[in-house]
Structure 1
Amino acid sequence: MKILITGGAGFIGSAVIRHIIETTQDDVVNLDKLTYAGNLDSLAGVVANPRYQFEREDICDGDALRRVFARHQPDAVMHLAAESHVDRSIEGPAAFVQTNIVGTYQLLEVATRYWQELPASRQAHFRFHHVSTDEVYGDLGGTDALFTEQTAYCPSSPYSATKASSDHLVRAWHRTFGLPVVVTSCSNNYGPCQFPEKLIPLMILNALEGKALPVYGKGEQIRDWLYVEDHARALYTVLTRGGNGDTYNIGGFNEKKNIEVVYTLCELLEELAPSKPGHVRYYSDLVSFVEDRPGHDLRYAIDAGKLQRELGWMPLETFYSGIRKTVTWYLQNIEWCRRIHDGSYRRERRGLGSREVA
């Protein structure tokens, strides 16, 4: 196959591209606008591969999308491009509405017209895979329930509301126009190459610099943690074997309170990075509790049983094996982190034009 991946320079998108290039014979076209969270450094290991190509374009630009589809003739689309940070969505919802809703609409319009004009044999095998989040389901609160594929939507933040809207658009294009789609909703991802604004890399890098480790509220929020490489395997499995029109939840089977995650990171850093800044005795001394986020959901938890039963996927990493790999990766890739902090990862790409073959 030739797979068009939107948002392929992001955290999850880059993991998917690495997985496909390293473990399959498929070709990949990475379409990414390269916003602040798009980092081509995360694709350094595949950029020279002849099965990888890069297009710097915005999914909100319909004309650009039409050019990309016409030029590359993809057999499938994996749509991961999105604004995804909840705090940023509270501070500035407009970018989330534009990218997550308008961008998804533009992509659906172009993909549907492209699919309709394919020969019948290629039409039958085309797939539009929309990658969503468990946050569209809302808050499980203090219950023991799990999100299933039938859970009603009840988003809490501008981010999750725009993702819910994009999910509805994808399903509407499937029902109304017949576009072959699959939808996945995942739990909290972690692992290599995650942008440092997210909880786990933020805690690791702050600790190494002797900075405060800010935890919302009392850190009682519970999340199901999914190692990003397990997620990448699941996404490819759903793309290639999932049922047309079906939805699959993807979870790590690892529910942890945020404060548990932070203290686990501190314990690992004590072992793996015992040399600390001079004013720090123990990494855990850096933990500080800050005012909670507005509308902060208490608990997310995924029932990934459908994916396990129907497609045979299971995560390979436990939380503890995955978090150790994650801490080790950040310790071994401080230069990757430094280039984000000093902005050089963005400055060096300014001359990179659209339709650039990498």
Structure 2
Amino acid sequence: MKLLVTGGAGFIGSAVVRLAVSRGAQVVNLDALTYAACPDNVAPVADSPLYSFAHVDIRDPEALARVFEEVEPDAVLHLAAESHVDRSIDGPGDFITTNIVGTFNLLNAARHYWVSRGRPDTFRFLHVSTDEVFGSLGKEGKFTETTPYDPRSPYSASKASSDHLARAWHETYGLPVLLTNCSNNYGPYHFPEKLIPVVILNAIAGHDIPVYGDGSNVRDWLYVEDHARALLLVLSNGQIGRSYNIGGVNERSNLELVQEICAILDAKRPLGSGSYADQIRFVTDRPGHDARYAIDPARIREELGWSPSVTVSEGLERTVQWYLDNEAWWRPLQQRHGVGRRLGTNV
């Protein structure tokens, strides 16, 4: 099978690329290499004859058409997206052009390619999205595939729009689309501006560890390699036109998560005195900060047999150790635009 993976130099995309190549798939990684992309994310498979790279922006429809003609993929896994909520608050334009217009371009290119090849039954287009499109939960309940959309940030609104486009291209044109919505991912190669890497790297640098508001916001944490495994399963076995929610079943408040990371660091790299938790500082909350996300993964479990294999405690242990062992990866990324600076206050 030949897979075209968009955003394969990013965090989740690179996990998909590494897993697919390890399983013997031929993978073409299409990526614009914007600020959050890192070619080193796919270094473990970069020398494989099964791997190749296309430096293309999904906002360029002509370039996309050329890639489809040259690559002739059996399936598309669409992960390319702007994904940082705080950046979407300060600069929503890139989120509109990449997540909405870029997805439109990709769907169009895939449709024309699929039609030109005689509409093969084996072709698949997997659109990868987020649970943030569903809005904010109270203390009870979980998101299901039938939860109404209620996005609250420019990021989640742009992803909701892309979800609707993907469904429309299936319903109107018959394009064989599948869709997934996942909970918060974490693990190796997570870009340093996201919460878990920020906590780890600020802690070991002796800097303040920022926690938005009172730290009570709850997220469901999904280990990125579990997510990659789920995506390849949906691609191969999922029902066309159907969506699948992928969750880690690992809820933590932000404060609980930060405290757990600090405790792991206390054990792995102890300070001379005190705890890394002493560096926690509560800061002004993000505008429109959703209170709680939680996914019910019953559909993917019952239909496809997937369930998360890594608990949040196991995953955090692995993730902290990976960052301690891979300074050569994360140190240069901290110098990129906006990393390490508080974003999302421009309202």
Name the TM tier (shorter chain). over 0.9
Unaligned runs of 5+ in 1: 345-358
3-state SS of 1:170 partner = helix
Q: Report if the CA contact (8 A) 1:93-1:158 is conserved.
A: yes
Whether 2:186 is the aligned partner of 1:187: answer: no
Give 2:213's aligned residue: 217
| Alignment length (residue pairs) | 337
Q: Report if the CA contact (8 A) 1:141-1:297 is conserved.
A: no
Give 2:342's aligned residue: none
Give 1:83's aligned residue: 82
Residues 97-154 of structure 1 deviation map (CA, whole Å, 9 limit, x = unaligned): 000000000001110000011145xx10000000000000000023x11000000000
**CA distance in structure 1 between the aligned counterparts of 2:25 and 2:40, rounded to whole angstroms:** 21
Selected match of 1:227 from 214, 218, 223: 223
**CA distance in structure 2 between the aligned counterparts of 1:227 and 1:113, rounded to whole angstroms:** 35
**CA distance in structure 2 between the aligned counterparts of 1:17 and 1:287, rounded to whole angstroms:** 35
Give 1:107's aligned residue: 106
**CA distance in structure 2 between the aligned counterparts of 1:343 and 1:244, rounded to whole angstroms:** 39
**CA distance in structure 1 between the aligned counterparts of 2:11 and 2:336, rounded to whole angstroms:** 17
Instruction: Give the 5 Å matches for 1:194-205.
Output: 194-205=190-201
Q: Report if the CA contact (8 A) 1:17-1:28 is conserved.
A: yes
Give 2:340's aligned residue: none
**CA distance in structure 1 between the aligned counterparts of 2:29 and 2:262, rounded to whole angstroms:** 36
> What is the Cα deviation at residue 205 of structure 1?
0.3
Residues 21-71 of structure 1 deviation map (CA, whole Å, 9 limit, x = unaligned): 11x111000000000000011111110000000000100101100111011
CA RMSD of aligned residues (A): 1.1
Selected match of 1:137 from 134, 138, 141: 134
Give 2:64's aligned residue: 65
Instruction: Give the 5 Å matches for 1:179-328.
Output: 179-275=175-271, 281-328=274-321
Give 2:343's aligned residue: none
Residues 251-296 of structure 1 deviation map (CA, whole Å, 9 limit, x = unaligned): 00101000000000000000011146xxx73200100000110000
- TM-score for both structures, normalised by structure 2: 0.96
**CA distance in structure 1 between the aligned counterparts of 2:156 and 2:264, rounded to whole angstroms:** 32
> What is the Cα deviation at residue 343 of structure 1?
5.0
Give 2:35's aligned residue: 36
Q: Report if the CA contact (8 A) 2:134-2:149 is conserved.
A: yes
Unaligned runs of 5+ in 2: 338-347
Give 1:352's aligned residue: none
Matched residue type, 2:2 = K
> What is the Cα deviation at residue 341 of structure 1?
2.1
Matched residue type, 2:20 = I
**CA distance in structure 2 between the aligned counterparts of 1:107 and 1:342, rounded to whole angstroms:** 31
**CA distance in structure 2 between the aligned counterparts of 1:341 and 1:185, rounded to whole angstroms:** 29
**CA distance in structure 1 between the aligned counterparts of 2:206 and 2:243, rounded to whole angstroms:** 43
**CA distance in structure 2 between the aligned counterparts of 1:30 and 1:53, rounded to whole angstroms:** 6
Q: Report if the CA contact (8 A) 1:129-1:181 is conserved.
A: yes
> What is the Cα deviation at residue 342 of structure 1?
3.8
Q: Report if the CA contact (8 A) 2:259-2:277 is conserved.
A: yes
Residues 150-196 of structure 1 deviation map (CA, whole Å, 9 limit, x = unaligned): 00000000000000000000000000000000000000000000001
**CA distance in structure 1 between the aligned counterparts of 2:255 and 2:240, rounded to whole angstroms:** 39
**CA distance in structure 1 between the aligned counterparts of 2:40 and 2:320, rounded to whole angstroms:** 18
Matched residue type, 1:333 = N
Give 1:94's aligned residue: 93
Identity of aligned residues (%): 57
**CA distance in structure 1 between the aligned counterparts of 2:271 and 2:41, rounded to whole angstroms:** 27
> What is the Cα deviation at residue 312 of structure 1?
0.3
Structure 1 runs of 4+ aligned residues shifted over 4 Å read none
3-state SS of 1:50 partner = coil
**CA distance in structure 2 between the aligned counterparts of 1:343 and 1:313, rounded to whole angstroms:** 36
Give 1:12's aligned residue: 12
**CA distance in structure 1 between the aligned counterparts of 2:287 and 2:331, rounded to whole angstroms:** 31
